[in-house]
Structure 1
């Protein structure tokens, strides 16, 4: 990771994280028409469940291509985000989303145990995302119920 050269406020870090989430909703295109990868440091890391850790623009692009290729649409619910600031380079965003996966639609809270709730841990320095670890249930359409007996009971 690069040495810090610019001081950022929590609100500035939040603006970078929001730009990333909005770009994800916009098929990987930022508000200025650039690539979502432009928001990341060259040696950044991104972790996505069931994919692993991607390092650098090439692997992050592959991760986003793999995950994004399974999504027909996604919309984050910005007004409902919870933000946690560390006082340093780390910020946490917790929120909900809805959209359509190739296996079917999802909406946070429908059903209550389903996909759509997520939490992202960001490290943002020098106006670039250094690290983004994404925590969510990647079974967007809620098809993986056979392995969880309590879900079979809940559906009945």
Structure 2
């Protein structure tokens, strides 16, 4: 990990996090036409539920290829994000999304227990994402209901 060389404001960290989220909506391409991986430090970490921890850009690229290969389209709802700033390198973004997964569509709140609500915890230094842990339900299309009695009752899953 590199030593910190630039002091960043919360708004600057937020801009990096927004660029990352918008790159997902743009198929992994940033607003400058670069790869989403260019937003990460070489030794960055990313956690995604049911995938695990990716260490370094190569593994992060595999994680994004694996997960991204299941998503046909995604759109984050930027106007309703909640931002939490630590006063340090950590920025938390909470929001909603909608899109099309290979197993079907999703939209936050439809149904209320389904996918689309998420929270990302970022660590950003020197204009690069050092760490992002993604917290969401990876069952985008809401097919995994039989294992949860309360959902099985609602959906008729067996």
Q: Distance in 2 between matches of 1:50 and 1:2?
A: 29
> What secondary structure is seen at the aligned counterpart in 2 of 1:19?
helix
Could you state the TM-score of these two structures normalised by the residue count of structure 2? 0.98
The within-5 A match list for 1:40-51 is 40-51=40-51
**In the alignment, structure 1 residue 68 sits paired with structure 2 residue 73:** no
| Equivalent position of 2:129 in the other structure | 129
Could you state the TM-score of these two structures normalised by the residue count of structure 1? 0.99
> What secondary structure is seen at the aligned counterpart in 1 of 2:23?
helix
Q: Distance in 2 between matches of 1:154 and 1:11?
A: 42
Aligned-residue Cα RMSD (Å) equals: 0.6
Question: What 5-or-longer segments of structure 1 have no aligned partner?
Answer: none
Count how many residue pairs are aligned between Structure 1 and Structure 2. Answer: 156
| Equivalent position of 2:87 in the other structure | 87
Q: Distance in 2 between matches of 1:43 and 1:11?
A: 23
> What secondary structure is seen at the aligned counterpart in 2 of 1:61?
helix
Give the 4+ runs in structure 1 shifted more than 3 A: none
1:152 Cα shift?
Answer: 1.5
Q: Distance in 2 between matches of 1:47 and 1:3?
A: 22
